[in-house]
Amino acid sequence: MSQDEFIKHMESSVDPSSSEQKDQFKAFCKRCSYITLNQDAADDSFVELRKRMESFMEGDETQNRHFYMALPPNVYVAVSEQLRRNCYSEKGDSQIIIEKPFGHDLESSLDLHRKLEPNWKENEIFRIDHYLGKEMVKNILTLRFGNPMFGAVWDCSHIDNVQISMTESIGTEGRGGYFDGVGIVRDVMQNHLMQLLALTTMERPGSFAAEDLRQEKARVLRLVPPLDIKHTMIGQFTKSADGKYPGYKDEDSVPEDSGCATFCASVAYVKNARWEGVPFILKSGKADDTALDESKTEIRIQLKDTTDGMLRDTAHNQLIIRIQPDEAVRLKMNAKLPGLELHTVATELDLTYQQTVSNPDIPEAYESLLLDAFKGDYSDSVSEQELEASWKIFTPLLHHLEGNKDIKPREYAYALPGSAGPEGLEDFVASYQFQTLGSEETVV
């Protein structure tokens, strides 16, 4: 790609419309330069990159450099070594920005950290989990610690169960070959859902400073035992009932005997006084109509039954934090039905951003995270301690599923109206709601 082709490619994505935007874009393009790197060859292209950067910052006393490695994970180490050797700034801060997957199990994640560590310190590695850049995820701590009414009931004495789910209405869309080596557990649950669980369950940090936040998240994740196959259900989507959408194994790049899970529900527990006995039901799946849109993510906190007395047959209070789409916080509660008789009705307090906030300026997740990286704010960067704790939760389950070919995922039809994941899912979830213990039956 030439420099001119690079600029045209950017312009097609930005699409400046007004004359002011066009002038701003032209000024921005003057600060952009395209260079091809060859990580398999000698250091020559990386030396050229350093010279190019120095020409942009000639005369500047401070020269900070951020390297966003949007690359396959198998070249992270080699490229990071060449960047450290040839492009590290001697007049400012240097930083590499990497994105999941950070390994495929505990040992590989630790191995990646060991190989990056000689060249890049922990405070020079920004690990992106794009969910941490989403507006409603950033709102969780404010919701929890900025509202005493929630803090007063945020424990096992009042909360019966918590459901954390991310479902997608689409399948693997031609990426089956890649997905088959990853699966839904690695793709979503070990990272995105674990971050949501940590933010939901962590203790109040000393401040919003990066290290305080990351230490509390790592601390609570260490209190989560490894997931148990007895409390897990896996599934794999087949073609839709009308035959319009292909099944997972219909893709050419997917083996006919693949046992890869495109859906998983599993139950986690946090072993401390605050959360003792509360099941955290984690769910994620592809080709699931419950997503309603391309992707639906929410945290649903269900409170315990009201005390029997003068009010009967009341609905459970629920706090629902909708991450996407249509960012919202909803509180389901009971009220008196208008009239002369005393009857209760379930009602809802609804804070949907698009309806209640005038012209909400909701930045894209990557926009927020990259700005944090440039500012040196690591509060939304995943720490090595969080990664290690998270992989300890999931690695035994992954090895068990992948080491036992007799375990077959339950089939479910590609999303159509009324589809809701594998058969038995509702019973699986219900078995952990409003009672002390879940079923001991293995339900994979």
Which residues belong to the active site?
Answer: 192
Cα separation, 121 vs 51, in Å, equals: 24
Q: Looking up tokens 């087949």, which residue turns up?
A: 238
Cα separation, 424 vs 173, in Å, equals: 26
Cα separation, 378 vs 55, in Å, equals: 29
Half-sphere exposure of 262 (CA within 13 A, CB side): 32
CA distances from 282 to 185, 268, 427, 430 (A): 10, 7, 15, 13
Residue 253 token pair: 């790049």
Instruction: Return the H-helix or E-strand segment holding 188.
Output: none
User: Residue 193 gets which letter from DSSP?
Assistant: I
Pairing of β 159-168 and β 125-128 = unpaired
**Residue 393 CB partners (closer than 8 Å, separation 6+):** 190, 194, 221, 224, 225, 226, 227, 268
Contact of 193 with 162, CB cutoff 8 Å: no
CA distances from 377 to 11, 214, 373, 380 (A): 29, 12, 6, 8
Contact of 251 with 376, CB cutoff 8 Å: no
Q: Which amino acid is at 246?
A: P
φ and ψ at residue 151, rounded to 5 degrees: -60, -30
What sign does the CA torsion over 273, 279, 281, 282 have?
A: positive
Task: Report which of 240, 289, 231, 283 is spatially closest to residue 261, judged by C-alpha positions.
Answer: 283
Residue 385 token pair: 């301690």
First to last CA, the chain: 48
DSSP reduced 3-state for 316: coil
Task: Report which of 43, 99, 32 is spatially closest to residue 69, judged by C-alpha positions.
Answer: 99
DSSP reduced 3-state for 216: helix
Return the biggest CA–CA distance within the chain. 85
Instruction: Return the H-helix or E-strand segment holding 331.
Output: strand 328-336
Contact of 353 with 362, CB cutoff 8 Å: yes
